[in-house]
Amino acid sequence: MAHLQSRLSRALTAAVLALAPATAFAGKATDTLTYASDTEPENVSPYHNNVREGVIIARHVFDNLIYHDLATGKYEPQLATDWTWVDPQTLDLTIRKGVTFHNGDPLTADDVVFTLNYAVDPASKVVTKQNVNWVKSAEKIGDDKVRIHLVGPFPAAIEYLSGPVVIYPKAYFQKVGLDGFAKAPIGSGPYKVTAVVPGKGVKMEKNTNYWKGSPLGTPSIGKLEFRVIPDQETQLAELMTGGVDWIWRVQADQAKQLEAVPNLSVLAAETMRVGFLQLDARGQTPGAVPLKDVRVRQAIAYAIDRKAMLDNLVRGGARIMNSACFIDQFGCTDKGVPRYDYDPAKAKKLLADAGYADGFTIDLYAYREREYAEAVVGYLRAVGIKANLNFMKYAALRELSRAGKVPIYYQTWGSFSVADASAFTGAWFKGDEDDLARDDEVTKLLKTADTTVETETRLKTYAEALKLIAERTYLVPLFSYSSNYAFTNDLSFTAQPDELPRFFKAKWK
């Protein structure tokens, strides 16, 4: 039914697009950028929601300690003017002076210490635990000096400090509590929240006192308004009538049609999400026995024409991935990693060598982009592997996989937008239920890489682990995903692979 609905509504959308007349947009005239997305964060407090819409608000309303320049890959000072590793488990930071919160309170080392300790306190009921569970505690060691004690060596801490870890105002938070904060959050970022309307969205206004010299720059657009619109077709209709100025995650086929609308821009940009096949290399399920042979796994990798899939299905800025991570993540590399370019003849030969000249039958499970999974099934059939596609809801599939019942798993991973390889490999090769390979050698190497502070050793160890994973073909990386943004022509907007729109950098043309 849902499938039929989406088909029908797409047909309707096509009709809208064909008929849409040109109009002037209201956004620029009122200096208000209205952006729409389908999900409402359960709580706008950044540590108390797990959704992308919440992350967007967090980055506009709060400041980070460190800034990750995605263009150069370098970490730059933000609230922390400098930082040093005292030892692999201790990080010292100097906090910038002269920054104030939206309510006028100065931001000090006390706020930083409070935020970190609050985020790891079980009583705070933080839902983004994966972002802070590396912190043991924080303490003030000088007027503007903060020391973070880590649970264990964790070099990716810098990446987390420049991403999900944002700084709260201690005095205000303690005064209003979490419930008060959820209704009226206060940060030090380029935008301040003026209203949180449950079910509808969040309104923000430019912070005219935003501190000079911030790597985020000076915000240009006066007001931001986030509107929750659950239905994609409704979002499109709003965009075309000027009700909203910016939408994202537009389906590839709709994006193509939108390009024809004169006053709209469509931007296709790569994301950190990587699609891949996870193979049950230990043959836990009876049907997965052939996968125990590395030649069969390699045959699967050779059988898939990733370039054709990329050109015809994914489109827009996405790239082929050869390693078990997103290529721009720190530590991720495909140098020295074996490649499996499309070669069905070689695939057939490998299968014959492994004793499956006539192929075999196996189950393939997928939960999103059915057409991608269908393409994979088609390629596998072409070399004799009769894969049956089982399309399921994510939660049910995840459960099935953790119970060891999924031979081939079409998975995707967005690494929480963390630009460090540990956010990818750590999820799939940790030796837990999600690790179908359970290769001790790989797990050990990754553990070393995850906990080594010394950069060169870290890079080398990741490269070694990634090489092993590819050689033994536990996971067949396919390609990165792309995402389509559509917005009014009046807006100058650029996208980043971490799928985090930065409206503080956007301008009216």
16 binds another protein (CB under 8 A): yes
Own/partner pairs for 428-436, CB < 8 Å, 24+ apart? Answer: 428/278, 428/324, 428/475, 429/324, 429/465, 429/469, 429/474, 433/401, 433/402, 433/404, 434/401, 434/402, 436/278, 436/279, 436/280, 436/281, 436/282, 436/284, 436/401, 436/404, 436/406, 436/409, 436/474
# of chain residues touching another protein (CB under 8 A)? 49
Site stretch for another protein (CB under 8 A), options 234-242, 288-296, 303-311, 333-341? 234-242
3 binds another protein (CB under 8 A): no
Using the minimum distance from each CB to another protein, give the nearer residue, 334 or 435: 435
Using the minimum distance from each CB to another protein, give the nearer residue, 226 or 504: 226
70: amino acid identity, one letter: L
416 binds another protein (CB under 8 A): yes
Site stretch for another protein (CB under 8 A), options 136-144, 164-172, 174-182, 214-222? 174-182
Contact 494, 485 (CB under 8 A): no
Of 192, 227, 295, 502, the one binding another protein by CB under 8 A: 227
218 binds another protein (CB under 8 A): no
Using the minimum distance from each CB to another protein, give the nearer residue, 50 or 90: 50
Helix or strand run (H / E) with residue 316? none
Closest approach, Cβ 151 to another protein, in A, equals: 14
261 binds another protein (CB under 8 A): no
Closest approach, Cβ 497 to another protein, in A, equals: 17
440-451 vs 455-471: helix crossing angle, rounded to 10: 160
182 binds another protein (CB under 8 A): yes
Of 7, 24, 30, 42, the one binding another protein by CB under 8 A: 42
How long, in residues, is the chain?
509
Using the minimum distance from each CB to another protein, give the nearer residue, 127 or 313: 127
Burial of residue 137 (number of CB atoms within 10 Å: 0-12, 13-18, 19+) = middle
Give the C-alpha separation, 303 to 321, whole Å.
15
String of contacts with another protein for each residue 368-397, x by CB under 8 A: -------------------------xxxx-
Of 433, 441, 454, 471, the one binding another protein by CB under 8 A: 433
Sheet holding 201-206, edge to edge: 191-197, 201-206, 223-228, 32-37, 246-247, 475-488, 264-279, 408-413, 360-366, 385-391
- Integer-rounded Cα Rg, in Å, for the chain is 24
86 binds another protein (CB under 8 A): no
Q: Report angle CA 482, 486, 492 to the nearest 5 degrees.
A: 105
Give the C-alpha separation, 430 to 425, whole Å.
8
Structure tokens at 292: 């125990």
Of 20, 279, 318, 354, the one binding another protein by CB under 8 A: 20
130 binds another protein (CB under 8 A): yes
Structure tokens at 247: 């939408």
Using the minimum distance from each CB to another protein, give the nearer residue, 243 or 344: 243
Site stretch for another protein (CB under 8 A), options 72-80, 144-152, 203-211, 398-406? 398-406
241 binds another protein (CB under 8 A): yes
How many separate helices (H) and strands (E) can be counted in the chain? 17, 18
Applying CB under 8 A, which residues contact another protein?
5, 8-9, 12, 15-16, 19-21, 23, 40, 42-43, 48, 50, 129-130, 178-179, 182, 198-200, 227-231, 233-234, 237-238, 240-241, 243, 393-396, 398-399, 402, 413-414, 416, 427, 432-434
